[in-house]
């Protein structure tokens, strides 16, 4: 049977599936449940020092539905980082490691642009026995107003500086979590690596407005009649996340990438692995399907590896990157192959009345 385990930056995971920072890893109880049901690791909800002002609102989630209202395809949140005190977190991280010594627990941290604050937070968390850090340079709402989260992640020199502060305060592996709300995600990622980061996690949520309520005419989620743009996640973001992971894998070869964004099924997760992620994080999927969705991911990965004859996960991490090229090259390749299928000619004149059938003839993988 295929071996699903993987060693990433010295962390030995039983499988590449990791809970992404957010509600599924928001306290001891939920982290313990994740480890118990089989997740390869957990990135806990982002924490900061005790005196950071974190006041959440409700409601703070919104959903994007299919037109028939049958399925949720996108999700938006305006949730902040953890509003629980650091002292509680320190106890709970220790308990997690006491009770699950082999479980991989990664602390996600965020602070203001202050060396002492980042290093104090890193130091006390390192002492709890956790396995690694993820730096939240990417929360798109709330904290950027205080120059934290995505506001830092959009500033490569600050990303490099803060990463080096954290690396100076811990011996543990550090992943820098990138914001997709930027032109070229490889620029801050390179800065994080220059600052000493061991790996890159991507993506955090995409800044978005999920919709407007047709009765009240107020944007969603509506808090006291008003709203603010928030972070978009779940299935709808997967193609953008895959593109960004592809750019990171190609632009920063030999860097461990933790792919995140819209994973719901084993196929979704495998796609991230094929584009160069060595671990795959899931946040909203676990919120909507429950922690036990990892069973499907594990089963699906076993089936996939057996079908293709892969014995280890590393055997196919990044396998599909070799098939990307430029559009010019696609044209040349198609000319060369002299295969002129009707649906591939792509002339404007082919667009007749039946738009849907022409669209289908120009689409593969349906
Ligand atoms: C409700 C909610 C809360 C989140 N909180 C955090 C957080 O505290 N820190 C963080 O780095 N990312 C946070 N995220 C972002 C997720 O970790 C993840 O990067 C993003 O949602 C995309 O992955 P997904 O489609 O699997 O959810 C949160 C996401 C959601 C939906």
Distance 304 CA to ligand 1 centre (A): 27
Residue 77 to residue 244: CA distance in whole angstroms: 21
- The DSSP code for 349 is G
Contact 124, 90 (CB under 8 A): yes
Picking from 139, 137, 15, 37, the residue whose alpha carbon sits closest to that of residue 82 is: 139
pLDDT digit string (tens) for 156-205?
Answer: 999 999 999 999 999 999 999 999 999 999 999 999 999 999 999 999 99
**Residue 283 annotated as catalytic:** no
Residues with CB under 6 A from ligand 1: 20-23, 45-46, 75, 77, 79, 81, 108, 136, 139, 177, 204-205, 233-234, 237, 260-263, 282-285
Residue 286 to residue 297: CA distance in whole angstroms: 11
Ligand 1 atom with the smallest distance to the CA of 203 is 19
pTM: 0.95
**Which carries the bigger pLDDT value, residue 1 or residue 263?**
263
Contact 176, 200 (CB under 8 A): yes
pLDDT for 357? 76
CA distances to 21, 62, 238, 268 from 284, rounded to whole Å, are: 10, 12, 12, 13
Element (H, E) at 239: helix 238-251
- pLDDT > 90 in the chain, percent: 87
| Residue-range domains of the chain with CATH | 6-323 (3.20.20.70), 327-361 (no CATH)
Atom 21, ligand 1: residue with shortest CA distance: 233
* Best mutation site among 21, 22, 79, 230 for ligand 1 pocket (most ligand atoms within 8 Å of CB): 22
Res. 352: pLDDT tops 80: no
Residue 11 CB partners (closer than 8 Å, separation 6+): 41, 104, 106, 131, 132, 173
Buried b (16+ CB within 10 A) or exposed e, 154-190: bbbebbbbbbbbbbebbebbbbbbbbbbbeebbebbb
């Amino acid at each position: 049977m295929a071996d699903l385990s993987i060693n990433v930056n010295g962390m030995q995971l039983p499988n590449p599936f990791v809970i992404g920072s957010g509600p599924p890893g928001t306290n001891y109880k939920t982290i313990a449940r994740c480890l118990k049901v089989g997740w390869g690791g957990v990135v806990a909800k982002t924490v900061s020092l005790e005196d950071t002002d974190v006041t959440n609102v409700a409601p703070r989630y919104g959903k994007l539905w299919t037109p028939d209202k049958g399925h949720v395809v996108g999700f938006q949140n305006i949730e902040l980082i953890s509003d629980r005190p650091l002292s509680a977190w320190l106890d709970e991280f220790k308990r997690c490691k006491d009770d699950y010594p082999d479980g991989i627990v990664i602390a996600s941290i965020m602070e203001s642009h202050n060396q002492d604050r980042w290093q104090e937070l890193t130091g006390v968390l390192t002492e709890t026995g956790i396995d690694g850090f993820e730096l939240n340079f990417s929360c798109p709402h709330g904290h950027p107003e205080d120059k934290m989260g995505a506001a830092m992640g959009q500033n490569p020199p600050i990303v490099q500086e803060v990463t080096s502060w954290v690396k100076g305060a811990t011996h543990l592996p550090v992943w820098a979590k990138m914001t997709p709300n930027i032109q070229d995600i490889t620029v801050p990622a390179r800065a994080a690596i220059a600052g000493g980061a061991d790996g890159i996690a991507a993506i955090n949520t995409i800044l978005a407005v999920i919709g407007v309520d047709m009765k009240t005419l107020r944007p969603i989620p509506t808090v006291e009649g008003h709203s603010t743009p928030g972070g978009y996640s779940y299935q709808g973001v997967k193609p953008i996340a895959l593109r960004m992971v592809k750019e990171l894998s190609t632009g920063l070869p030999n860097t461990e990438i933790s792919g995140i964004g819209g994973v719901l099924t084993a196929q979704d997760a495998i796609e991230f692995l094929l584009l160069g992620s060595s671990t795959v994080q899931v946040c909203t999927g676990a919120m909507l399907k429950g922690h036990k969705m990892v069973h499907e991911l594990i089963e699906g990965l076993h089936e996939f590896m057996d079908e293709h004859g892969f014995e280890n996960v590393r055997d196919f991490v990044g396998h599909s990157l070799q098939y990307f090229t430029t559009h010019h090259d696609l044209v040349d390749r198609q000319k060369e192959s002299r295969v002129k299928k009707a649906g591939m000619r792509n002339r404007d004149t082919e667009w007749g009345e039946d738009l849907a059938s022409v669209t289908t003839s120009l689409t593969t993988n349906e």
